[in-house]
Amino acid sequence: MSFSVLSDIDHVAIAVRSLEEGIETYRTLLEREPEVEIVEEQGVRVAAFPLEHGRVELLEPLDEDSPVAAFLERHGEGLHHVAFRTGDADEALDRAARSGLEPLNDAARPGAGGYRIGFLHPNDLHGVLVEMAQPPGGNGGSDGDV
């Protein structure tokens, strides 16, 4: 198995208009507290609820220029992307491109929590925006636990 294989669900991300309201709802559902972080590079404030495997992230746009603001405008609140864990986001992007899937990024870039991330276009993936997420240290191999 190659190091860049997509080994697990890293997180699912949900676009919300109000992070406070989203936190209240998902705190009720998941019965735990999130960690809140601002990710300037993605133009979002993120609330991450850890799960046994992976996590649920709520995304609130920082301003009108945020891609998530555009998403909310077009689709309303809902599933924004699914992130798969990989040991090498750059190689995973290259491999996807060679397989005919359209990357949204030429190269991986910084994400929340020290990750390196890259996205694939939803048109090629039945309407789902896919993120390839390389955790700090590149823990994309077989053990899966973070």
Site residues (vs Co ion, CB under 5 A): 13, 83, 131
Nearer to Co ion, 13 or 89 (CB): 13
Give the C-alpha distances (Å, rounded to integers) separating 53 from 22, 85, 117, 144. Answer: 21, 11, 18, 8
The least CB distance from residue 119 to Co ion, in Å, is: 9
The least CB distance from residue 95 to Co ion, in Å, is: 19
Would you say 110 and 41 are in contact if contact means Cβ atoms under 8 Å apart? Answer: yes
Nearer to Co ion, 40 or 100 (CB): 40
- Number of Cβ within 10 Å of residue 84's Cβ equals 19
Q: How far apart are CA 45 and CA 13, in angstroms?
A: 12
Nearer to Co ion, 91 or 131 (CB): 131
Would you say 22 and 14 are in contact if contact means Cβ atoms under 8 Å apart? Answer: yes
The least CB distance from residue 3 to Co ion, in Å, is: 20
The least CB distance from residue 83 to Co ion, in Å, is: 4
Nearer to Co ion, 37 or 106 (CB): 37
